[in-house]
Amino acid sequence: MYDVVALGELLIDFSTSLTDADGYPTMVAHPGGAPGNFLATLSAYGKKTAFLGKVGEDAFGRLLADTIKKAGIETKGISMDSRYFTTLAFVTLDGNGERTFSFARKPGADTQLSWEEVNRTLIDEAKIFHFGTLSLTDEPIRTATQKAIAYAKAQGKLITCDPNLRKPLWKSEQEAAEQILWSLSQADIVKISDDEVDFLWRCSPEEGAEKLLLEHGVSLAMVTLGPKGCYLKTAHANIHIPGPSVHPVDTTGAGDIFGGSALSRFLELDKPICHLTEEDLAYIGRFAVTAASLSTEKPGGIPSIPEKKQVLKEMKSL
Ligand code: ATP
């Protein structure tokens, strides 16, 4: 039995290392894609996970499948397709480690996963089905995601969603908003950032969490606030958790590492969401905020996931 199966994108993030005299960056390749970072975090914290997705049958695709496997994630749900190239994302950073994205993805292999190719046995064997919104930007992966969610829901699986905006990947902002709002209404647990709340509703993180519960039927809303930590809310409890003091160099994957860490703690509590108390939300949020913040001190997504014992040590100071 798997704790979590996730469907979505797998890609290579090229981040800036140095700039030459003409301003051209020297790029360093890191494994990327939100669901991979998310599952790798769960796996690092002792949970059993599996991936559903597609890469190109090329050097980068093989590298990604290998990285996912080394992260302890089941890879039999990853197909390799020789007709498409693995998606490449170029991430440029400003002085505070904040990112701008450009994508070479026309179409990237990850978007070409069809419902027929989705390994349903992995969904059957998982407690939780997770998805992000970047698998809704293009067909056929959009239909594959929609059908996989319906399939998982029909079996009573818990559904978790981490919306991701990345404006250059959508045809329009309106399409992005429509798809993200649809995704939120499918999920029991949502991890969303304050920037995404602002994009969708132009409201505060607290009002955004309230909307998730009342208008989208979400049971646990987790709003991340960048360096300011997070805000968690259920129908019966809510809590603000500040972030620890860190020295960020690269925030890539911090949100995914927050989501994976939070879900690992939720699984450890082994309680229905409606029974979570304020103490339970603190148990989830303090660990997740600490893990995500520590990850910003190292470059990349998966390589920056901190060890559990380091997280437990650092969170004592919160
Ligand atoms: P992503 O861009 O990966 O999708 P996100 O926008 O979903 O991330 P954020 O709110 O930026 O999520 O950050 C998630 C968590 O990462 C925060 O709750 C915090 O713990 C940590 N974090 C992010 N940025 C910083 C920062 N500059 N300094 C310290 N911690 C940070």
At 259-300, the pLDDT tens digits run: 999 999 999 999 999 999 999 999 999 999 999 999 999 988
Q: Of all atoms in ligand 1, which is nearest to the CA of residue 230?
A: 18
> How remote is the CA of residue 197 from the centroid of ligand 1, in Å?
14
- Give the tens place of pLDDT for each residue, 145-202: 999 999 999 999 999 999 998 888 899 999 999 999 999 999 999 999 999 999 999 9
Residue 105 pLDDT:
59
Q: Of all atoms in ligand 1, which is nearest to the CA of residue 226?
A: 10
Angle of the 278-295 helix axis to the 308-315 helix axis, nearest 10? 120
**pTM of the predicted protein model:** 0.94
Ligand 1 contact via 248 beta carbon (within 6 Å): yes
Tokens at 316, concatenated: 């004592």
CB of 73 within 8 A of CB of 40?
yes
> How remote is the CA of residue 245 from the centroid of ligand 1, in Å?
13
SS3 call for 44: helix
ipTM of this model? Answer: 0.96
Residue 28 pLDDT:
85
171 contacts: CB under 8 Å, gap ≥ 6: none
Residue 168 pLDDT:
82
- Give the tens place of pLDDT for each residue, 297-316: 998 889 899 999 999 999 87
What rounded mean pLDDT belongs to the chain? 94
Ligand 1 contact via 63 beta carbon (within 6 Å): no
> In Å, what is the CA distance from 89 to each residue of 9, 86, 105, 211, 269?
11, 10, 8, 32, 36
Q: Whose CA is nearest to atom 9 of ligand 1?
A: 226
Tokens at 80, concatenated: 């390799």
Q: Is the peptide bond before 107 cis (omega within 30 degrees of 0)?
A: yes
Q: Whose CA is nearest to atom 10 of ligand 1?
A: 226
Ligand 1 contact via 224 beta carbon (within 6 Å): yes
Determine the average pLDDT of the residues in 4-26. Answer: 84
Query: 288: closest CA among 270, 316, 265?
Result: 265
- Give the tens place of pLDDT for each residue, 139-159: 999 999 999 999 999 999 999
| Strand partners of residue 14 | 29, 90
Ligand 1 contact via 288 beta carbon (within 6 Å): no
Tokens at 67, concatenated: 């990285």
Ligand 1 contact via 244 beta carbon (within 6 Å): no
Ligand 1 contact via 193 beta carbon (within 6 Å): yes
Give alpha helix (H) positions in 155-303. 173-184, 194-201, 205-216, 254-269, 278-295
